[in-house]
Structure 1
């Protein structure tokens, strides 16, 4: 069993676990999640990497602090985490909110991110599915307090009664402006975008993000393929992305190793 540790940073005690051997890979979980609820992807990644899995402000075993939960704030926490552990540079895998944080980390601290895997991400609020955009203004604390992840929160949190306060911050996060197109366009960090074909971001938005990163060109024409990549998971909703670990590994490992399938002309 992996024994977790705490890193003191930005006024909080951030819980994290380290597993495996190899090049460093930071894993960032989704909203209302924790290391446990990320499932089998962490131990599978730890077969070939030294995995640093952390829990964000107010999530899992990390305490909440008197500060809004925003993507820039969470990205700065990850940057501080790397400094505390003397990690100069690492690959990063983020899912959902963790993918947004990974994007912000690469935007704000490009020197710290070797390669980024962003699963179920968007760079603009307009990229969310119309049904989801319509649901955001209707979100309330009362809707969330009886969800299964509320009980998970109470089992792990330093303050078991703090869930309603966390929900308020997470609802505010959903409404936070996201207009990162110019920042994404300037990124030099290779990004593997992973999305379900029935994800919370539209396919059109996901493809546009790939094009912003230099993707969408024709291969087999003697040109170097873009460093960034796109993988769409069939018959996959947002919450089903993280459960398909074998498929995720099949996308992630060649990307991190820099391997590409060989065509007829190579």
Structure 2
């Protein structure tokens, strides 16, 4: 089922699959809900999965507003409220992981459990080469956008202005940010999922998990030192193919069912 919900002056496209407790999915940059591949069906086997197309992505039209993680998080919270979901579980991948983080930070009343997949809590968490690619994205937007317009993704979403999409994404990802102080205040039980060859450094992954209370010594038989947060590293994957199998759905499902 698909629907359009008016939030903050935008007609936000929403796809729904399955029934059960709500799980909101937030896609990566440039792409939309198709980025989750087989994970949507796997998650929808036991959940009401709600895939939101963020501003200027997929079937949600762009508006005269720059991309900012904070305002996108406000959009997500608005959709959750408009749908009357109360507190929903939230899973965001890459760019969508940043939006999910900001949703938990800015709108804790709408987030039950949080899963962040292959996203950084600060710009410096990305490898230098990745940051350099971000910095060049807006200047190469016309060339890259023309190429993507002719690709299967471009054919799937013909209404997207791909040059604008890449320009805005490059401008967003070139801005400096550091949310680590706010991360430590997140109250929602949180799971981090990364590839073992990710775009985010191992040092940042460890620091991110530690900020959530993770990284304690062996909790022992009674589990007294075990943090509410969880960390998963998926072997044999990269930032770009992490969602190609249902491993993320399997990990997320176990975390979401945990007491």
Runs of 4+ off more than 3 Å: 146-160
Which of 52, 55, 66 is matched with 1:54 structurally? 52
Q: Alpha carbons of 1:16 and 1:152: their partners in 2 closer, same or farther (altered >3 Å)?
A: farther
Q: Provide the residue aligned with 1:67 in structure 2.
A: 65
Deviation at 1:186, TM superposition (A): 1.0
1:264 aligns to what? none
Q: CA deviation at 1:159?
A: 3.3
SS in 2 for 1:219: coil
Partner of 2:145: 145
Deviation at residue 154 of structure 1 after TM alignment:
4.0
For structure 1, list consecutive stretches of 5 or more residues without a partner in the other structure: 260-266
Q: Is the 8 A contact 2:148 2:162 kept in 1?
A: no
What residue is the counterpart of 1:226 in the other structure?
227
Q: Residues of 2 paired with 1:14 and 1:150: CA distance?
A: 24
Note if contact 2:196-2:234 (Cα within 8 Å) is conserved in structure 1.
Answer: yes
Unpaired runs of 5+ in structure 2? none
**Corresponding residue SS for 1:145:** helix
Contact preservation (8 Å) 1:25, 1:93: yes
Q: Give the superposed CA RMSD.
A: 1.7
Matches of 1:221 and 1:238, distance apart in 2: 34
Greater Cα shift, 47-56 or 146-155: 146-155
| Matched residue SS, 1:186 | coil
Separation of aligned partners in 1, 2:157 and 2:252: 31
- Determine the C-alpha separation between the residues in 1 that align with 2:110 and 2:189: 13
What is the aligned partner in structure 2 of residue 186 from structure 1?
Answer: 185
Tell me by how many angstroms 1:216 deviates: 0.8
Q: Work out which of the residue numbers 110, 117, 122 in structure 2 matches 1:112.
A: 110
CA deviations over 1:169-195 (Å, ceiling 9, x no partner)? 111111122210110011111111000
Partner of 2:130: 132
Superposition deviation, residue 37 in structure 1: 3.3
Residues 26-52 of structure 1 deviation map (CA, whole Å, 9 limit, x = unaligned)? 011000111223211111100010111
Q: Give the CA deviation at 1:138.
A: 2.4
In the TM superposition, residue 151 of structure 1 has moved relative to its aligned partner by 3.5
Q: 2:22 aligns with which of 21, 24, 42?
A: 24
